Every structure is written in C-alpha cells, then in structure tokens.
Amino acid sequence: SSSSIQPYQMEFLEFSLHVGVLKFGSFTLKSGRISPYFFNAGLFATGASLFQLGSAYAAAIMASTELVDSNSNSTPKFDVLFGPAYKGIPLGAVVSAALYSQFGINVGYAYNRKEAKDHGEGGTLVGASLTGQRVLVIDDVITAGTAIRESYDLLQGVGATMVGVVIALDRAEKRSLDDPVSAVQAVQRDLGVSVVSIVNLPQLQTFLEQYPQLVPGSDETTLESVKDYRA
C-alpha cells in the first residue's frame, strides 16, 4: 500500500527527527493552516546531513519508474535537475552529485536567481542549458503546490519540458477542503507531470504508529493530532 515504508524512507524519517528537521507541535503554514507537524529543510545544515539528504532523494528518484526507465539500465527520463531559488539550489547540487556518485547517472544541474543580474553572465538562469531539455524540478515540501506552479511557468518560458517533481515530503493536503484530490494530485493532473516524494503524510503516520519510541518527545497525543489533521 502507499503507506508501507521502504528502508530508505525509514532511515530518512529517523534522521529528519534526529536533526530536528521534522518536528511535532503547532505550526502556522504558508497557507495559514495550523499544522501539528512541520518539516524545516533549512536545518539540514551540516556536511553529513546534506550527504544523507542527497542519498535519500537519489534513492526516491531511482525507485520511481516514472523518473527512470527500469527496463533500460535505470536510464533517467530527464536531462536536467532544476532547483528553484532559494531552497532548491543546494538540493539540486547535492542530489545531482549523489545520482552520479551512487548510481553513475550524470544529469545536468541548473537553478534560477530571484533577482536578474545586470553584469557578468546576466540573466536569471544559471547552470546547464534548459531549452529543449526534459527537466526534473527539485523542492523540499509540497503543501498547496504554489511554488511548483511557478517553476512550471518559468520552464515553459525558456522552452524546457518539465517532466516531474521530486520533493522530500508530500504533506498530502488539499488546497481547499472541497477539492476531490490532493494538491500533489492536482499538480500531476493540471501540469501533466510526475510527482515523487521521499515520504508522504500517510507514511509518516505509519511511522508514528509503528515506531513511537523513535520520535523524540512524542506521546499518544502526537499520533492523534496528526490523524485529526489528516482527517
């Protein structure tokens, strides 16, 4: 089922809890919703944690038949990994390096600036050329999918084809409670791209149910609050 957990996902959740990236409590989201948990990727702030983060994204990419061709020696179905500013920039760098060092896959890497430069190389795009390329966008979290839609427009504007998105956490939320599908499903449907996550909310819930002892400071209310929020 979608909420069963693979070893690389277990490792990623344990590690995110250990470094304080994943926390339980009361948090106000970009959308204004109050969430009982928050994933702060900015706290992957050491060489060791970035190395482990890169490995987890690379494992999620390689596990996806939508992003790699499993019949053809795991050939990637994308040419360039694009990390939108700011948080996508280091993610794209560590994950493209991890794909090479761990799987021998050498894709391009590109990112954008938020402000255009008026000297030197100019422009807002840096790194591998995007025009005519199949692009995988990397980001940290999808809640409503707003950030991802901005990348889609940017890539369309330079003649690139966005083929997918890889994120650390799919919060499995709806943009509005009346929506029939989640924000991630709406991105897949509206943009026609694959969305792959290292973990999603149902898997986080399974983890809380099965391994509460691995969650620092958790008690029965932790799981209940996550269940209520998801419902």
Provide the annotated active-site residues: 117, 119
Binder to ligand OMP among 91, 141, 160, 193 (CB under 6 A)?
A: 141
Cβ proximity to ligand OMP, 79 vs 140, nearer residue: 140
Q: What are phi and psi of 149, to 5 degrees?
A: -65, -30
Judged by beta carbon, residue 83 or residue 127, the one nearer ligand OMP is: 83
Give the contacts of 105 (CB within 8 A, at least 6 positions apart). Answer: 74, 76, 99
Asked if 229 interacts with ligand OMP (CB under 6 A), we say no
CA 148, CA 5: separation in Å to the nearest integer?
25
* DSSP-derived 3-state class of residue 65: coil
Closest distance of CB 222 from ligand OMP, Å: 15
HSE of 20, CA atoms in CB hemisphere, 13 A:
4
Q: Is 39 in the site for ligand OMP (CB under 6 A)?
A: yes
Residue 143 engages ligand OMP in binding (rule: CB under 6 A): yes
CA dihedral 67, 71, 107, 53 (to 10 degrees): 60
Q: Could you tell me the smallest distance in angstroms from the CB atom of residue 184 to ligand OMP?
A: 9
Residues that bind ligand OMP (CB under 6 A): 29-31, 38-39, 140-147
